[in-house]
Amino acid sequence: MQKKITPFLWFDGNAEEAAHFYVSIFKNSKVLGVSHYGKDAPGDAGTVMTVSFVLDGEEFIALNAGPTYKFTEAVSFLVSCDTQEEIDEIWEKLSEGGEQRECGWLKDKFGLSWQICPSLVTKMLGDGDQARVDRVTKALWQMNKLDLKTLQEAYQAS
């Protein structure tokens, strides 16, 4: 059954490279297919038009459509991680050649923004105890790559 909503990402000639890069980072991922521009299309005939791929079970489509539009931080992908090892691995791979930002955010080498975040942060920030929420929030903003142990300590402090 086809999903109703699939992220559709605009690239400037490197959609296939990006898809293979992302697939190499996430488990349960693969490139599903590549389509090419035909002779009457807006792109050069024979060049890659779209790449369909799956990242950890989620389907994406990458489009080579030129330099008209660029990625911004207004849209990002949140990656929930269960362990510090998973955070470290994904953070290092995705940020290689990109830009590491505060609070678990990074921009990869293609300009796409990601949030690499411990799964527990949602629970911590949704806690009814405002003092706990404030401590975790303060700790979050002092980090680039998130440190699960430090966040747990901030959450449990009294």
* 10-residue averages of pLDDT along the chain (158 residues): 86 97 97 95 90 97 94 96 98 98 97 97 92 96 97 92
Q: Looking at the DSSP assignment, which residues form a beta bridge with residue 106?
A: 100, 114
Which pLDDT score, from 0 to 100, does residue 19 have?
98
Domain parsing of the chain, residue ranges: 8-64, 76-156
- The domain made up of 76-156 has a fold known as 2,3-Dihydroxybiphenyl 1,2-Dioxygenase; domain 1 (3.10.180)
Which pLDDT score, from 0 to 100, does residue 4 have?
87
CATH code for residues 8-64? 3.30.720.100
pLDDT in tens, 8-21: 999 999 999 999 99
